[in-house]
C-alpha cells in the first residue's frame, strides 16, 4: 500500500480527543496500538466513591431520557462527562448519541460502564425493575463503590429498600427527585431534594450543580418524601391558578393582565412563572405528565405501589381533591398532557 499522510481522530469521549499525524503503511499496527491504549484509558476513567469526581475521569450512566431526563443528561454531556445511556425506545437517544453518548442495551450494561448511574423513569414499578431486577438491573452490574441516583418521583419505602440493597453490594444509592419542570431542567435550575448518606450527596455535588441546586433532606427516602410534599403544594397552586384564570375570563377581565398584576403580590408563585402563559395560550405540551401528578399526590394520601405502610400518613383533603381532578384529566384521555392542562378540567366543569 502506498504510504499516505493521514490524520486520525480517535474519539473516546466528548471531551477526549487524540490527534496523530503519521505515515501509515499498516493500518493493523495502528489498530493494535489503539486497542491497547483504549484499555488503559478505560482503566484510568474510573472514579467510584469516594474518589473525586471530574469530567476527564468520572463515567456517567443515564437511564430514562424523556423530556426531563434528556435535558438533565444533556447538561452533563455538555460539561464534558463521558455518558452511557439506555432507552427502551433507542430512537429517543439520537440527540445524545449524536453528541458522543454511548447507547447500550440494558440497565446492567449502563452500570458496568459507569461510576454514577442516574435514573429518571415514570413510576415506582419502573424504578424497581430498572434498579433491582436480578439479571438486568443496575445493581446487578454496578461495581463496588458505584453510586446510583434516582431522580424519579417515587415511593420513600422503595428508596429505603434500594439503599439497603446497594449497601449489601458495597454500592450507594441516593434518592434525589427534582422540581422545576422542563424549563428548570434545560436551564440547570432544578430544585434537587436529596436523601441518603450525606457524604455521598456532597460527593455528587459537582454533578448536581450542573442541574440545579441540591439540598440534603435526610436519610434514605427523605428526598422522595420531600418531593411528595412539593407536589402537594404544586398541585394546589395549579388548581388555584386554573380557577383564577377561568374566573377572570368569565368576569370579563383580560386574563393576561390579571395574571401579570397578581404575580407581584401574595398570589405570585413559581407556578405562575412556569405555567401561567402556557395555560392562557392552552399550550399543554408536557414538562411533566399529568398522569404522574396522580401518582405523586396519591403517594401523599395513600399507599399506591407496593410501598410500606407509613404511620405518619396525614389526612390531606386538598391533595385528595387535586388527585381527583388530575385523575379526571387522565379519564378524559389527557394523561400525557402537561400538568398545566389542569385548567382544561376546570373549563369542562364550567361548560367551556
Whole-structure pTM value: 0.83
Q: What is the mean pLDDT of each run of 10 residues along the chain (352 residues)?
A: 36 38 44 40 68 96 96 98 96 96 97 98 96 96 97 96 98 97 95 98 98 98 96 97 98 98 96 96 94 94 54 82 97 96 97 93
Same domain, 188 and 273: no
Q: Tell me if residue 227 is catalytic.
A: yes
Q: What is the pLDDT of residue 288?
A: 87
Quick one: CA torsion of 319, 323, 328, 329, rounded to 10 degrees? 100
- Look at the block and give the residue holding cell 436519610: 219
Q: What is the pLDDT of residue 302?
A: 73
Same domain, 263 and 343: yes
Same domain, 136 and 81: yes
- The residue from 180, 201, 219 where one domain ends is 219
Q: What is the pLDDT of residue 309?
A: 52
**Angle ∠(251,254,255) on CA atoms, nearest 5:** 85
Residue at 50 is within a domain: no
Q: What is the pLDDT of residue 305?
A: 43
Same domain, 214 and 245: no
Q: What is the pLDDT of residue 65?
A: 96
Cis peptide before 315 (omega within 30 of 0): no
Buried-exposed string 10-27: b where 16+ CB fall within 10 A, e elsewhere: eebbbeeeeeeeeeeeee
Cell numbers for 314: 396525614
**Is the separation of the CB atoms in 89 and 105 below 8 Å?**
no
Domain, as residue range, for 40: 4-44
Same domain, 178 and 245: no
Same domain, 234 and 304: yes
Same domain, 84 and 141: yes
Catalytic residue, chosen from 5, 6, 134, 227, is: 227
Same domain, 301 and 331: yes
Same domain, 63 and 178: yes
Q: What is the pLDDT of residue 194?
A: 98
- The residue from 189, 219, 249 where one domain ends is 219
Q: What is the pLDDT of residue 312?
A: 60
Same domain, 64 and 162: yes
Same domain, 235 and 211: no
Q: What is the pLDDT of residue 228?
A: 96
Residue at 255 is within a domain: yes
How many distinct structural domains can be found in the chain?
3
Q: What is the pLDDT of residue 47?
A: 82
Amino acid at each position: 500500500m502506498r504510504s499516505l499522510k493521514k490524520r486520525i481522530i480517535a474519539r473516546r469521549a466528548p471531551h477526549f480527543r487524540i490527534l496523530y499525524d503519521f505515515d501509515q503503511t499498516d493500518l493493523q499496527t495502528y489498530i493494535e496500538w489503539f486497542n491497547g491504549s483504549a484499555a488503559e484509558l478505560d482503566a484510568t476513567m474510573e472514579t467510584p466513591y469516594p474518589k473525586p469526581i471530574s469530567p476527564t475521569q468520572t463515567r456517567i450512566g443515564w437511564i430514562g431520557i424523556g423530556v426531563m431526563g434528556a435535558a438533565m443528561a444533556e447538561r452533563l454531556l455538555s460539561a464534558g462527562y463521558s455518558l452511557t445511556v439506555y432507552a427502551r425506545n433507542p430512537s429517543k437517544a439520537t440527540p445524545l448519541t449524536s453528541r458522543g453518548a454511548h447507547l447500550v442495551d440494558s440497565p446492567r450494561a449502563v452500570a458496568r460502564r459507569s461510576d454514577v448511574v442516574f435514573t429518571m423513569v415514570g413510576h415506582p414499578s419502573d424504578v424497581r425493575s430498572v434498579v433491582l431486577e436480578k439479571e438486568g438491573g443496575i445493581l446487578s452490574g454496578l461495581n463496588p463503590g458505584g453510586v446510583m441516583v434516582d431522580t424519579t418521583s417515587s415511593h420513600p419505602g422503595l428508596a429505603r429498600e434500594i439503599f439497603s440493597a446497594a449497601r449489601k453490594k458495597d454500592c450507594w444509592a441516593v434518592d434525589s427527585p427534582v422540581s422545576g419542570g422542563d424549563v428548570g431542567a434545560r436551564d440547570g435550575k432544578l430544585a434537587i431534594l436529596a436523601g441518603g448518606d450525606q457524604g455521598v450527596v456532597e460527593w455528587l455535588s459537582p454533578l448536581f450543580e450542573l442541574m440545579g441546586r441540591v439540598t440534603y433532606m435526610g436519610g434514605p427516602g427523605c428526598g422522595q418524601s420531600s418531593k411528595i410534599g412539593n407536589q402537594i403544594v404544586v398541585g394546589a397552586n395549579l388548581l388555584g391558578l386554573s380557577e383564577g384564570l377561568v374566573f377572570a375570563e368569565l368576569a370579563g377581565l383580560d386574563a393576561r393582565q390579571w395574571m401579570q398584576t397578581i404575580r407581584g403580590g401574595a398570589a405570585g408563585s413559581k407556578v405562575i412563572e412556569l405555567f401561567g402563559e402556557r395555560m392562557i395560550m392552552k399550550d399543554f405540551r408536557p414538562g411533566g405528565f399529568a398522569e404522574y401528578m396522580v401518582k405523586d399526590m396519591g403517594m401523599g394520601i395513600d399507599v399506591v405501589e407496593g410501598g410500606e405502610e407509613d404511620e405518619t400518613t396525614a389526612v390531606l383533603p386538598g391533595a385528595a381533591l387535586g388527585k381527583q381532578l388530575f385523575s379526571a384529566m387522565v379519564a378524559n384521555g389527557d394523561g400525557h398532557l402537561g400538568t398545566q392542562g389542569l385548567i382544561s378540567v376546570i373549563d369542562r366543569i364550567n361548560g367551556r
